[in-house]
Structures are given as structure tokens and as C-alpha cells.
């Protein structure tokens, strides 16, 4: 069974631009979460989606948004990029709903903002 | 608010020696606890999890962890470390409230010396 797939793996943007990252969950998984990982702040929860609905959002500005499609694939978007948005963005999918299901992580999309 | 503390930023262990990584959590309810490992350039892989029941849980790659409610701890152990265990280890508490998110510690980087 294929794992969580994130694209692109690496990308470089400049300040003020926007970026869209994609995540394909494990087949059958309906919950998708996004995390930001930086050396200074560590791993921080961005948002979680289930059945195309955002169920929870972390403490990030409105420039960070996401969505989930009917096939459970998810995208996150960051608008008006800032230098501090440089990070590894990790997507995770889960089978179970409302329970402590295991999160399966992708390898991440490494964003560099110049 | 939920939080996880990993007091050791770096730990160096000789190959073949035993390992213990410390984790303390703060959570008002019964915690769901996890240990993840991250190799350079990779996503997170689940080592083990605790939901309930036996307080000593076994994971993959020979790791185990013990949940101690009285100490709010969930320390990770391995009796004999291999060079391939060099990686960063993250402890996390699961917040399950109709949605699902993980609150991570800052991580402990394990170095294995020959």
C-alpha cells in the first residue's frame, strides 16, 4: 500500500509569492493533517481535515489555508510568503476518526523563502 | 494547555549501550502518547503508542516505553543501540476532541558513537 505522498518535495519561493503544497493520503484514510516543522518552533499543528471539512486549526495567520477534496487528497496554501515561512511542511493521514489513530506522515515538502 | 517536554536536546550513546530518552507531558485527561523517529530528510515514523492498559508498551526496532502517570512521563528505552538508530526522536501527546492533533516535544537528537 502506498504511503502518504507529498508534492513537491522541494521548492524555493521569494517573499510575497504564494505556494500550494499537495498531499495524497494513504488509500482509505479520510483524515489529513498538516504540520509545520522549523528549527526554532519545532513541529506545530496547522490544521486537520476530514471529509472535506476543516475540523481544527492551529495558531497560524490567515495566510495559511487548506482544503480537502472528495478523494481525501489535500492541499495547503500559503499566501504572501515571509522569510519565516521557510520550513518543512509535513502531511499526515489517519484511518480512524475521533480516536487516537496512528498518524502516518509523508516525507514533507521543504519550502525555502528567499 | 497540552505540552510535552523533552529535556535532552542531544544525547550521545555508544553503540551497544542502552538508551533512555526522557519525555514529560502535561494534559488534563488520560493522555494518548506517542514516540516518533525522524531520520534526516525524512518524515516521521511511529515507534510506539500508548492509549490505555499495560503501561509498558513495545514498539518497532526494539524500542519500548513506559507510561508513569504519577510522574507524567513516557520515557523511551532500548537495551542496545545500533548505529542506525541515530536520528531525532519526538515524543507527542494526542489531543482527541472530535478532531485529532498531536502536540510534539522539541525532540532529542540521538548520536551513536562507535
pLDDT of residue A1: 67
pLDDT range class, residue A96, cuts 50, 70, 90: low
Q: What are the residues whose beta carbons fall under 8 Å from the beta carbon of A61, sequence distance 6 or more?
A: none
pLDDT of residue B29: 77
Q: Which residue in chain B is spatially nearest to A51 when comparing CA positions?
A: B99
pLDDT range class, residue B89, cuts 50, 70, 90: very high
Which carries the bigger pLDDT value, residue A12 or residue A102? A12
Residue B88 vs residues A41, B22, B108: alpha-carbon distances, Å: 15, 13, 6
Question: Among A54-68, B13-27, B49-63, B93-107, where is mean pLDDT lowest?
Answer: B93-107
| Chain B interface test: which of A48, A54, A103 (most B C-beta within 10 Å) | A103
List pLDDT tens digits, range A73-83: 999 999 999 99
What DSSP element (H or E) covers A6?
A: strand A5-7
pLDDT of residue A101: 65
| Chain A interface test: which of B44, B89, B103 (most A C-beta within 10 Å) | B44
Average pLDDT over residues B44-70: 93
Q: Please name the member of A55, A58, A107 whose beta carbon is closest to the beta carbon of B43.
A: A107
How many other C-beta atoms lie within 10 A of the C-beta of residue A22? Answer: 14
Average pLDDT over residues B15-31: 91
Average pLDDT over residues A75-98: 91
Q: Determine contact: B30 vs chain A, CB below 8 A.
A: no
In the predicted model, what is the mean pLDDT of chain B?
A: 92
pLDDT of residue A2: 79
What CA–CA distance (Å, rounded) separates A96 from A24?
Answer: 17
Q: B42 contacts in A (CB within 8 Å)? A: 107-108
Q: Determine contact: B56 vs chain A, CB below 8 A.
A: no
Q: Which residue in chain B is spatially nearest to A47 when comparing CA positions?
A: B101
pLDDT range class, residue B71, cuts 50, 70, 90: very high
Q: A33 contacts in B (CB within 8 Å)? A: 100-102
pLDDT range class, residue A100, cuts 50, 70, 90: low
Check whether A67 has a pLDDT greater than 80. yes
pLDDT of residue A109: 97
List pLDDT tens digits, range A16-45: 999 999 999 999 999 999 999 999 899 999
pLDDT of residue A97: 60
pLDDT of residue A102: 80
Q: Determine contact: A4 vs chain B, CB below 8 A.
A: yes
**A8 preceded by cis ω (within 30°)?**
yes
Burial class (CB in 10 A: 0-12, 13-18, 19+), B58: exposed
Amino acid at each position: 500500500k502506498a504511503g502518504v505522498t507529498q508534492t513537491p518535495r522541494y521548492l524555493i519561493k521569494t517573499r510575497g509569492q504564494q505556494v500550494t503544497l499537495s498531499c495524497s493520503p494513504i488509500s482509505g484514510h479520510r483524515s489529513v493533517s498538516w504540520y509545520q516543522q522549523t528549527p526554532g518552533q519545532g513541529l506545530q499543528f496547522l490544521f486537520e481535515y476530514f471529509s472535506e471539512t476543516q475540523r481544527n486549526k492551529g495558531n497560524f495567520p490567515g495566510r495559511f489555508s487548506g482544503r480537502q477534496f472528495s478523494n481525501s487528497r489535500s492541499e495547503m496554501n500559503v499566501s504572501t510568503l515571509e522569510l519565516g515561512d521557510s520550513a518543512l511542511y509535513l502531511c499526515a493521514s489517519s484511518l480512524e476518526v475521533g480516536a487516537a489513530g496512528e498518524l502516518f506522515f509523508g516525507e514533507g515538502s521543504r519550502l525555502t523563502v528567499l | 494547555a497540552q505540552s510535552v517536554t523533552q529535556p535532552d536536546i542531544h544525547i550521545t550513546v555508544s553503540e551497544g549501550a542502552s538508551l533512555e530518552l526522557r519525555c514529560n507531558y502535561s494534559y488534563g485527561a488520560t493522555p494518548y502518547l506517542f514516540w516518533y523517529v525522524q531520520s534526516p530528510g525524512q518524515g516521521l515514523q511511529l515507534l510506539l503508542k500508548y492509549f490505555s492498559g499495560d503501561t509498558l508498551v513495545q514498539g518497532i526496532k526494539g524500542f519500548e516505553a513506559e507510561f508513569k502517570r504519577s510522574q507524567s512521563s513516557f520515557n523511551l528505552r532500548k537495551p542496545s543501540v545500533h548505529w542506525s538508530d541515530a536520528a531525532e526522536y519526538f515524543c507527542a501527546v494526542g489531543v482527541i476532541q472530535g478532531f485529532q492533533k498531536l502536540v510534539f516535544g522539541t525532540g532529542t537528537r540521538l548520536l551513536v558513537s562507535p
